Structure 1
Amino acid sequence: MISRITRSSKSLEGKTIVLGITGSIAAVRCVELARELGRHGADVHAVMTHAAMGIIHPEAMRYATGKRVITEITGDVEHVEFCGINGRAHLLLIAPCTANTIGKLAHGIDDTSVTTFATTAFGSGVPVMVVPAMHESMYDHPIVAENIKKLRELGVEFIMPVMEEGAAKIAGEDEIVLRVERILGGKTLSGKRILITGGATAEAIDPIRILTNRASGRTGIELALEAFRKGADVTLVHRGRTGIRGIREFNIQSAQEMTDTVLEELSKGYELLISAAAISDFTLTSSRSKIKSDKEITLTLRPAPKLIKEARLRYPELRIIGFKAETGVTADELIKRGRESMESAGLDMVVANDVSSGGMGTEGNDVYIIDEGVKRVSGTKHEIAIALMDKIEEIF
């Protein structure tokens, strides 16, 4: 499950989403799901089966969406209004979706309000996303697996359940919203493989102590999320672990581990490396046992490997974006040093900032995105990630 690591945005503004709710106990989660989609700008309309109404009252969904809830197909032909050809809906999101409804969708059975919407969506090309929720034994039924496979082959996107306590539980709201953003985001980076590094590395002093820095890793995570929203195949290498399904993660500690992991992964074919990590400039030989704290000690530091330098030598055609952190310099000097780094390492772009005024370990930042020109971006790291990914679209 994804922890909430970005604030609500207007990423779904202008998008109409039909939320189909079927008779799983997970229907109780739909109030918050609908509100979360709305916080991101979506216009949400709920459609409920009779079984769903036995679990959550339609008035709860009317409160969550601010719209009349569709529980029956009437003379207003609601299914055509939303999911017909040139209909209002950009997406039919069925969450939660029971094994029963999955079977009906796979075999063209239309006997509930939700399946009527789905039948119409299939016939008119409206995207359909399904979020299953059921008991684990039901989810493991081979016919259910076959039905899911069949629907995937028909173009239905699935957000697979979280397996806990003998149940295939509905995915978290943040994950569902992220996947909705991806399917409705135009997929402008679809087919692009992007490797992102983030956060601080840690050099072991002894089995307990480490040498590290103040970087939180938030920028790397936000970049990975934004690249994913735009349809890219994303890999994130950092010390943390987000558990974001759909993004490959490598958990590393030292500068050497990060360098080795990135170089090995790049051999599998990537179009872009974004080196946002604050990789240690120095490393040391770790003591095998805890160093006593009752006397003064001297640590001998030696230079750590330079990831960008190694990546450029091994993969000369790879596009690389670097980050340049300085302290106590003017904007002109910061930009000058950023350009020097870009030229010396053959980078496509550099993101430069003065960390003496913030940026490391903080919510927001003030950066300069440097390529042929210079663009200053001030705001949250989420907003900076959006600005950088918009620039990245231009280089492909």
Structure 2
Amino acid sequence: MPEIPDEHPTLWIKSTRSESLKGKTIVLAVTGSIAAVRSIELAREFIRRGAEVHAVMSKAAKDIINPMALHYATGNEAITTITGKVEHVEFFGNMGRADLLLIAPATANTIGKIAAGIDDTSVTTFATTAIGSGKPVMIVPAMHEDMYRHPAVLENIKKIKDWGIGFIGPKVEEGIAKIASNDEIVLEVERMIGINSLVGKKILVTSGSTAESIDPIRIMTNRASGRTGVELTLEAYRRGADVTIAHRNKVGTGNIRDVFAESAQQMTDAVLSELESGYDILISAAAISDYTLDAANSKIKSGKDLTLSFKPTRKLIREVRKAYPELIIVGFKAEAGIGKDELIQRAKQTLEEAELDMIVANEVSEKGMGTQDNSVHIIHADNREITNFAGPKNKIAIELMDIITEMILEE
């Protein structure tokens, strides 16, 4: 008979997504906004990344969700009142065991009380204690836009920010200062209390496919989804880096800077321009078109045979290496219909010819382009042992960023 785990069933999902918050204790404080319904899944996302989560609720929050829902979500009974256990001190006193107080959602009322040092609810008592002891606090506002725009609310937010407390969101739309998405909240929490190994480093990532115009309507492109580039960007941001991503999409989360680049020409120009401001590394993960053409000025009439004349595009990594001989450059090499030995041989050739510091090679006949999973081979310029990683792209990004972090810190 299988052994029955001695833990709450919710905790069976622990670290299934990653271990970015392993060993961290997060107190999720919930106030009386309708956005409180989001806190259940938010708590579980933290657990999926390895965190221990405890919930504290204001009285008004209990009118929105039942404390048992947060007990289920966290695996720990929700704190709804301060008892003789002095829960606020247990977690956020000078010897408290919590790493972060996250107030999500935070109403205008709660923000005002925190700014004034009032602690007449369980949540505000936790906030007063955490702020007083200098423990990390993050606040995620959620309210109607009219409330958010009130001068006193804006002053309260500014006052609290001046104490060094981080705010996530809100996103103002439909007349509501909506709570930030769970993905954005989790990302900012990971950056706040996670590894932080890349603080002070600047990273530029190229990602996804480029597209060459045939006429004002049609384009020529490839199957690259950009998932690997985005996952690398997010992982670098989690670790504290200042990150820019050049692509024809939008990450749209956190303080990650998006630079639009559609064609191979635009991508090369954008990267060279960005590097002028000084970066520690270029991760060239984009599948840049090898060929382009002179686009027609008007739509090409359909229904007739069509001949297109192609010409080679500029080689981004070669131009970057010439302009920045000391820059760390990580390249990617995608091939199809060849074996492992031939793949590695071609990757090594590109590594040497382009003078890269590392290259990531994969054979994309079955997976890699447009898929959730991938299998990659990492080859270093110093001829260290070739490493292979296979699995979901977010987990491959973690492994790659471990190696990239080591490369950056060795410089």
Report the TM-score range of the alignment, normalised by the length of the smaller protein: over 0.9
The alignment partner of 2:277 has SS state of: coil
The alignment partner of 1:18 has SS state of: strand
Which residue does 1:309 correspond to in 2? 318
Kindly provide the CA deviation profile for residues 80-130 of structure 1, in whole angstroms up to 9, marking residues without a partner as x: 111122322111100111122222222322222112111221233321111
Q: What is the Cα deviation at residue 299 of structure 1?
A: 1.0
In structure 1, how many angstroms separate the alpha carbons of the residues matched to 2:227 and 2:127? 38
If asked which structure has higher relative contact order (CA below 8 Å, sep 6+), I would say 1
Which residue does 1:350 correspond to in 2? 359
Report matched runs for 1:44-59 at 5 Å. Answer: 44-59=53-68
The alignment partner of 1:92 has SS state of: strand
Report matched runs for 1:1-396 at 5 Å. Answer: 8-371=17-380, 372=382, 373=384, 374-395=386-407, 396=409
Normalising by structure 2, we get a TM-score of 0.91
Q: Aligned partner of 1:121: which letter?
A: A
Q: What is the Cα deviation at residue 394 of structure 1?
A: 0.6
Q: Does 179-188 or 214-223 show the bigger shift?
A: 179-188
Q: How many residues align?
A: 390
Q: Aligned partner of 1:225: which letter?
A: L
Q: What is the Cα deviation at residue 351 of structure 1?
A: 0.6
In structure 2, how many angstroms separate the alpha carbons of the residues matched to 1:186 and 1:297? 54
The alignment partner of 2:365 has SS state of: helix
In structure 1, how many angstroms separate the alpha carbons of the residues matched to 2:322 and 2:162? 42
The alignment partner of 1:27 has SS state of: helix
In structure 1, how many angstroms separate the alpha carbons of the residues matched to 2:151 and 2:242? 29
In structure 2, how many angstroms separate the alpha carbons of the residues matched to 1:236 and 1:335? 27
Kindly provide the CA deviation profile for residues 155-204 of structure 1, in whole angstroms up to 9, marking residues without a partner as x: 21110111011111111111111111111212111111111111111111
The alignment partner of 1:377 has SS state of: strand
Q: What is the Cα deviation at residue 254 of structure 1?
A: 0.8
Q: Does 215-224 or 109-118 show the bigger shift?
A: 109-118
In structure 2, how many angstroms separate the alpha carbons of the residues matched to 1:145 and 1:364? 44
Q: What is the Cα deviation at residue 332 of structure 1?
A: 3.2
Q: What is the Cα deviation at residue 294 of structure 1?
A: 2.7
Q: What is the Cα deviation at residue 283 of structure 1?
A: 0.3
5+ residue gaps, structure 1, are: 1-6
The alignment partner of 1:268 has SS state of: coil
In structure 2, how many angstroms separate the alpha carbons of the residues matched to 1:55 and 1:366? 45
Q: Aligned partner of 1:367: which letter?
A: V
The alignment partner of 2:230 has SS state of: helix
In structure 2, how many angstroms separate the alpha carbons of the residues matched to 1:146 and 1:321? 45
Preserved contact between residue 246 and residue 267 of structure 2 (Cα < 8 Å): yes
In structure 2, how many angstroms separate the alpha carbons of the residues matched to 1:367 and 1:300? 34
Q: Does 226-235 or 27-36 show the bigger shift?
A: 27-36
In structure 2, how many angstroms separate the alpha carbons of the residues matched to 1:143 and 1:312? 53
Q: What is the Cα deviation at residue 393 of structure 1?
A: 1.1
In structure 2, how many angstroms separate the alpha carbons of the residues matched to 1:118 and 1:77? 14
Q: What is the Cα deviation at residue 19 of structure 1?
A: 0.6
Preserved contact between residue 20 and residue 49 of structure 2 (Cα < 8 Å): yes
Q: What is the Cα deviation at residue 76 of structure 1?
A: 0.6
Normalising by structure 1, we get a TM-score of 0.94
Q: Does 224-233 or 307-316 show the bigger shift?
A: 307-316
5+ residue gaps, structure 2, are: 1-15
Q: What is the Cα deviation at residue 9 of structure 1?
A: 3.0
In structure 1, how many angstroms separate the alpha carbons of the residues matched to 2:277 and 2:245? 14
The alignment partner of 2:53 has SS state of: strand
The alignment partner of 1:74 has SS state of: coil
Which residue does 1:3 correspond to in 2? none
Which residue does 2:13 correspond to in 1? none
Q: What is the Cα deviation at residue 134 of structure 1?
A: 1.4
